[in-house]
Structure 1
Amino acid sequence: MICPEQLIPAFTMFIASDGYQCVIKKIIGEATFTKANKPGLKIDKLGKMNEAAQKRYELFLKLWLKNGKDFVLRLRAQAIMLKVV
């Protein structure tokens, strides 16, 4: 599964808001998210994700469908404020 480029900032904020710590590896273009007692999440600059990240992405999409467009707009606004975009 691939996260579209325009959703990466919102998805990143979704992960970070759940307490995951982020390490960005610019050389290989990959972000790794870690949290105690949870599997690591990896997403690259093209939106490719490991299996654990894909499961979080599915949850992200379900919450988007449940809560509507404002859900993603709020996450994007947070990303802009933190200059994640």
Structure 2
Amino acid sequence: MICPENLIPAFTMFVASDGYQCVINKIIGEAIFTKANKPGLKIDRLGKMNEAAQKRFELFLKLWLKNGKEFVLRLQAQAIMLKVML
């Protein structure tokens, strides 16, 4: 499964809001999310994800369907604010 490029910031904020820590490897273009006692999540700049990230992305999509467009818009706004602050 591939995360569309326009959803990567929202998905990143979704994962980070659950307590995952992010490390970005700019050389290989990959973000790795870690959390104690949880499998690591990996997503590259093209949106390719490992199996653990795919399962998390499925949850993200289910919550989007349940909560509507505002769910994703709120996460995208958080990503923009974080980018501005950095």
TM-score computed with the length of structure 2 as normaliser: 0.97
| 1:1-80 equivalent positions in 2, closer than 5 A | 1-80=1-80
| Consecutive unaligned residues in structure 1, runs of 5 or more | none
CA deviation digits over 1:30-82, x for unaligned, max 9? Answer: 00000000000000000000000000000000000000000000000000000
Aligned partners of 1:11 and 1:83: how far apart in 2? 15
Identity %: 90
| Consecutive unaligned residues in structure 2, runs of 5 or more | none
* 1:58 aligned partner, one-letter code: E
TM-score computed with the length of structure 1 as normaliser: 0.98
Q: Any runs of at least 4 consecutive aligned residues in structure 1 with deviations exceeding 2 A, and if so which?
A: none
Q: How many residues align?
A: 84
* 1:69 aligned partner, one-letter code: K
